[in-house]
């Protein structure tokens, strides 16, 4: 009787196949079976060698990796800076920010201009923490309940503040 080897796809006599544990014949002919066993044995040996080498030379490998990282750091940073200035980089940044907002379930429902207009008196922005007027270069949009503490990025949770007032206030909740 003839059987087809699953590895080499050649048709061979049944005597060319080893018996399988289930009483049938193995999927691979004897020649392929030996080859596959050899390959598996070599993979196992290489894995064991690499594990042993890593255990014996762990500090050396880690130091080599650190050194490589230090050398490549400036080059990577330059590349990242250039990429973030490119149109593609800006678009990717926008997409990532949008995904983060969607994951949180927050959609930014305001613009900076809308918040400034809402928190102004006679066209002058007023700090919502201290109550004094704010110069445009000293103005920040402050989250009343920080996003890190579960706050949302919606117009109900933001206000105008001086940079100094925003930094000084306690982290949690409003002032």
Per-residue pLDDT at 175 exceeds 60 = no
- How far, in Å, CA of 45 to CA of 38, rounded? 10
For domain 109-168, give the CATH number.
Answer: 1.10.30.50
Q: How much is the average pLDDT of 89-103? A: 81
Q: Give the pLDDT band (50/70/90) at residue 106.
A: low
Residue 2, both tokens:
């003839």
Residue 59's pLDDT is 95
Mean predicted confidence (pLDDT) in 74-87: 89
Query: How far is 55 from 126, CA to CA, in rounded Å?
Result: 62
The answer to whether residue 126 scores a pLDDT higher than 90 is yes
pLDDT at 174: 46
Distance of CA 26 to the CA centre of its chain: 44
Express each pLDDT in 8-23 by its tens digit: 989 999 899 888 888 8
Domain boundaries, the chain: 2-56, 58-103, 109-168
**Predicted confidence band at 171 (pLDDT cuts at 50, 70, 90)?**
low
Per-residue pLDDT at 172 exceeds 70: no
Per residue in 136-152, pLDDT (tens digit) is: 888 999 989 887 787 88
For residues 156 and 150, the answer to whether their CB atoms sit within 8 Å is no
User: Residue 168: its pLDDT value, please?
Assistant: 82
pLDDT higher at 3 or 101: 3
Distance CA(119)–CA(139), nearest Å, equals: 11
Q: What is the pLDDT of residues 20-42, one digit of tens each?
A: 888 888 888 899 988 888 889 99
Tokens of 167: 């930094």
């Amino acid at each position: 009787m003839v059987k087809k080897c699953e590895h080499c796809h050649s048709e061979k006599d049944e005597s060319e196949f080893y018996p399988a544990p289930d009483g049938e014949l193995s999927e691979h002919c004897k020649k392929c079976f030996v080859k596959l066993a050899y390959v598996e044995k070599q993979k196992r040996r290489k894995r064991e060698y690499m594990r042993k080498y890593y255990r014996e030379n762990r500090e050396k490998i880690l130091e080599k990796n650190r050194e490589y990282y230090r050398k490549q750091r400036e080059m990577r940073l330059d590349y990242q800076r250039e990429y973030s200035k490119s149109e593609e980089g800006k678009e990717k940044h926008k997409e990532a920010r949008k995904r983060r907002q969607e994951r949180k379930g927050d959609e930014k429902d305001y613009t900076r201009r809308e918040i400034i207009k809402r928190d102004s008196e006679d066209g002058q922005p007023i700090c919502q923490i201290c109550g004094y007027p704010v110069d445009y270069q000293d103005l920040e949009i402050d989250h009343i309940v920080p996003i890190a503490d579960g706050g949302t990025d919606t117009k109900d949770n933001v206000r105008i503040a001086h940079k100094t007032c925003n930094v000084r206030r306690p982290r949690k909740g409003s002032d």
